[in-house]
Amino acid sequence: MSEQRTIDVAATQMLDKAKEIGFLTTFDRAKAQEPRCTFGNTGICCRICLQGPCRILPKKPGGNKGICGAADYTIVARNTVRYIAGGAAAHSDHGREIAQVLLHVAEGHNHDYKITDADKLMRVAKNIGVETEGRDVMDICKDVASAALAEFGRVDETQELTWLNAYSPEERLDVWRKTTIMPAGINLSLAKLLHQTHIGVDADPINIIFGGLKAALCDFNGQHLATDLSDILFGTGVPVVTEANLGAIKADKVNIALHGHNPLLSQMVVNAAKEMQDEAKAAGAAGINLVGICCTGNEVLTREGVAIATNFATQELAVMTGAMDAMVVDVQCIMPSLRSAAECFHTKIITTMPIMKIPGSYHFAFDEDHAVDSAKEIIRLAIEAYKNRDQAQVNIPNIKNKVVAGFTLEAILNIFGKINPENPIRVIVDAMEAGEIKGIAALIGCNNLKGTHDHNHTAMARELAKNDIFLLAGGCSAQAHALAGLMNGDAVKEYAGEGLKKFYARLNAAAGLTEELPLMFHTGSCVDYSRQQDFINLVAKEMGVSIPEVPYVVSAPEAMSEKAVAIGSWNVAYGNAVHVGVIAPTVGSQLVNDVVTKVAEDVFGGFFFWEPDALKAAARTVEIIEERSWKIAMRK
Ligand code: SF4
Ligand code: FE2
């Protein structure tokens, strides 16, 4: 574990405050876990059955296998793919909930939500083969929502997932069919994977990994439909200007943090807050101030320009400001410790989803059928909490940075289209072919306190930009850049290489935006990474190459969650090189580790590499991008 806790100055100030009041944060708890158990850390601890835990002790007679005889490769493969199952379940369930609401809207049962982006509905309908010609919008919507819901329950293994089929290039579909990883249904694939990895079922690591990749493709599918249907319900983001860091919390306002992942409630809170400013004023505040944490924050940032307070590892520190009146949380990446942090202050932690409760915190059962009323009641709880705020305890770091975000695929193509209206994607392909930019990298994923908070994200961004690599970003990685002041035009001037600067100059001249474009294009939350893959699919098509040939690398410099394992895995199946900034728990089996870091490239064109050192990882990323470019140039 690194000695420096965070690179974020505001977070450092709040960590000092936490120490002062005696609150142990996640940074203290991470330190307390050292030294880590080597068995768990390398993936050779099995807890799948009650005879376990079994640990692999290579030199001890009988100890080189589990009690059942499972070898290191079986144990490591099973552990790894079970991460994927967890991640794919989380993303897909998120998508299913959105689909359910969209269906209720289409059927006329739910009047609190509406279709906000009918054009997107039409595009999605056409892509997935729903008839649109001469049909009522609500009928089309019903078919789209039903098609999304059908992805979950399908059990006929001769069929294939609709979204995956509609949005992936034929060449990839063929690879997936040949390797038998093409899924039919999401629930089926996830249940099968849990079955496959039960004690005494599959011992073959390759077969287990293929089962895992099938689940990972379900993750992509669940993500894609979650993004599409959220855009239909809430609008497809366009470039927005806002700010990031704890300085976005306002001492004179009722502060509400929106934290988690699902936009169903948070979007309603944003809408309701616009109407309820007077209620906050009646309580003595200057109004209501919403800020975002993690991907719920990214959702409302992308669509509404809501400021970012902080990202995953520093969520407790938003409470330490003493000015957070309520933190409204939905699902995923919410630390249970928020409750204890809130006890030091007046903050109300409000859980809202039936599967996500924290003992001692306030649970408000969010009712989708009366979403507007639910959102209003939640805001009223925050206003009540504000009345109990002790202003003497308020200590908000005076740190915030300008952020330009909202780069959905549609928004990116719209900007490129200002230069080349007939063929927008040609703009970036031209820049690559001219050598102006070397290639593309996506910086994604979580925070992981095995390293210094936000160090790897920001160090990689600066290094890759210096090397003329065009950057996409999403999830908590995007927030790291935003918090550090990298997500604006000034950062382009400061950190971009000469070629990248030229590319930006042309884009800025044409884009017609009030603000200069930022150093990285923030595509949204972690459930929105399909926007990045769709972008790369267009690039590949325009270049006339397959996905594994595109000069593109995906990097999760501080990966942490099961979702990250699922995302990384579908990226590999898609043919992308994937950097992970922590040593993965596959290294306990040489065989499995070689499969995911080497053999995978022969089969899918994509592969993982582990590199905790940001500068070395950036150098390797540039190397991969250059190698892919050379291969394309040699062929021509
Ligand atoms: Fe041990 Fe096998 Fe049970 Fe795992 S499944 S805990 S290796 S006996
Ligand atoms: Fe996320």
Q: Are strands 307-310 and 326-329 parallel, antiparallel or unpaired?
A: unpaired
Please tell me the residue having the least CA distance from ligand 1 atom 3.
Answer: 49
CA of 434 from ligand 1 middle (Å) equals 55
- Residue 102: pLDDT band with limits 50, 70, 90: very high
The alpha carbon of 164 and the centre of ligand 2 are apart by a number of angstroms equal to: 21
* Dihedral Cα 630, 442, 534, 159, nearest 10 deg: 100
Cα(17) to ligand 2 centroid in Å equals: 27
Backbone dihedral angles phi then psi of residue 240, each to the nearest 5 degrees: -130, 155
Q: What is the pLDDT of residues 308-338, one digit of tens each?
A: 999 999 999 999 999 999 999 999 999 999 9
Query: Position of tokens 């099968």?
Result: 192
pLDDT at 597: 98
Q: Whose CA is nearest to atom 7 of ligand 1?
A: 66
- Alpha carbon of 92 to ligand 1 centroid (Å): 29
Per-residue pLDDT tens over the stretch 454-478? 999 999 999 999 999 999 999 999 9
Residue 2's pLDDT is: 57
| Three-state DSSP class for residue 404 | strand
SS3 at position 253: coil
- What are 189's two structure tokens? 């694939």
Does pLDDT of 367 surpass 70?
yes
Does residue 417 line the site of ligand 1, with CB under 6 A? no
Q: Indicate the fold that domain 72-234 takes in CATH.
A: Substrate Binding Domain Of Dnak; Chain:A; Domain 2 (1.20.1270)
Is any atom of ligand 1 closer than 6 Å to the C-beta of 49?
yes
pLDDT for residue 83: 98
**Interface predicted TM-score (ipTM):** 0.95
Q: Which ligand is nearest to the CA of 312?
A: 2
Ligand 1 touching residue 412 (CB < 6 A) = no
Type of residue numbered 152: F
**Tokens (6 digits) for 501:** 């600067």
Confidence at residue 507, expressed as pLDDT on a 0 to 100 scale: 98
pLDDT at residue 636, rounded to an integer? 75
* Ligand 1 binding pocket includes 186 (Cβ within 6 Å): no
The confidence score (pLDDT) of residue 575 equals 98
Output the CA 355–ligand 1 centroid distance in Å.
Answer: 29
Q: Tell me what the mean pLDDT of segment 578-589 comes to.
A: 97
Instruction: Determine which residue's CA is closest to atom 4 belonging to ligand 1.
Output: 46
- pLDDT of 635 higher than 90: no
Closest CA to 399 of 299, 314, 473: 314
**Residue 326: which of 272, 401, 400 has the closest Cα?**
272
Q: Is 180 left (phi over 0), alpha (psi -120 to 50) or beta?
A: left
CA of 202 to the centre of ligand 2 (A): 31
Q: Would the CB of 70 count as within 6 Å of ligand 1?
A: yes
- How many angstroms separate the Cα of 126 from the Cα of each of 131, 291, 389, 446? 7, 36, 52, 34
Question: Is the pLDDT at 253 greater than 60, yes or no?
Answer: yes
Given the candidates 3.40.50.510, 3.40.50.2030, 3.40.50.10380, 3.60.15.10, the CATH classification of the domain at 246-393 is 3.40.50.2030
CB contact at 8 A, 477 and 443: yes
Does ligand 1 come within 6 angstroms of the Cβ of 67?
yes
Q: Contact, 1 vs 30, CB < 8 A?
A: yes
Taking alpha carbons only, the member of 317, 313, 345, 149 closest to residue 246 is: 317
54 pocket-lining for ligand 1 (C-beta < 6 Å): yes
- In this prediction, residues 234-261 reach a mean pLDDT of 98
Fold classification of 402-635 is Rossmann fold (3.40.50)
Instruction: Give residue 579's identity as a one-letter amino acid code.
Output: H
Q: Rounded mean pLDDT of the chain?
A: 97
**Residue 413 in 3-state DSSP?**
helix
For residue 371, name the pLDDT band (cuts at 50, 70, 90): very high
Residue 174 CB coordination number (10 Å): 11
Distance 565 CA to ligand 2 centre (A): 13
Tokens matching residue 520: 């990285």
pLDDT at 143 over 90: yes
Q: pLDDT by residue (tens digit) across 57-82? A: 999 999 999 999 999 999 999 999 99
Given the DSSP bridges, would you call strands 439-443 and 552-556 parallel, antiparallel or unpaired? parallel
Give yes or no on whether 246-393 and 402-635 have one common fold. Answer: yes
Question: Does ligand 1 lie within 6 Å of residue 199's CB atom?
Answer: yes
Q: Residue 65 C-alpha to ligand 1 middle, in angstroms?
A: 9
For 351, the 3-state DSSP assignment is strand
Query: Residue 497: CB within 6 Å of ligand 1?
Result: no
Q: How far apart are CA 204 and CA 70, in angstroms?
A: 10
For the stretch 149-175, pLDDT in tens is 999 999 999 999 999 999 999 999 999
CA of 203 from ligand 1 middle (Å) equals 11
Position 3 scores a pLDDT of 78
Distance, in Å, from the CA atom of 115 to the CA atom of 129, rounded to the nearest integer, reads 19
Atom 6, ligand 1: residue with shortest CA distance: 52
Q: Where are the domains of the chain?
A: 9-55, 72-234, 246-393, 402-635
> Which ligand is located closest to the Cα atom of residue 52?
1
Which ligand 1 atom sits closest to the C-alpha of 199? 5
Mean pLDDT of 85-106: 98
Is the model's pLDDT at 1 over the cut of 80?
no
- Choosing from 45, 50, 67, 72 the residue with most ligand 1 atoms within 8 A of its CB, the one to mutate for a pocket test is 67
Backbone angles phi, psi at 150, to 5 degrees: -65, -20
DSSP 283-346: TTSS-EEEEEEHHHHHHHHHHH-PEEEE-GGGHHHHHHTS---EEEE-SSS--TTHHHHHHTSS
Residue 66 beta carbon below 6 angstroms from any ligand 1 atom:
yes
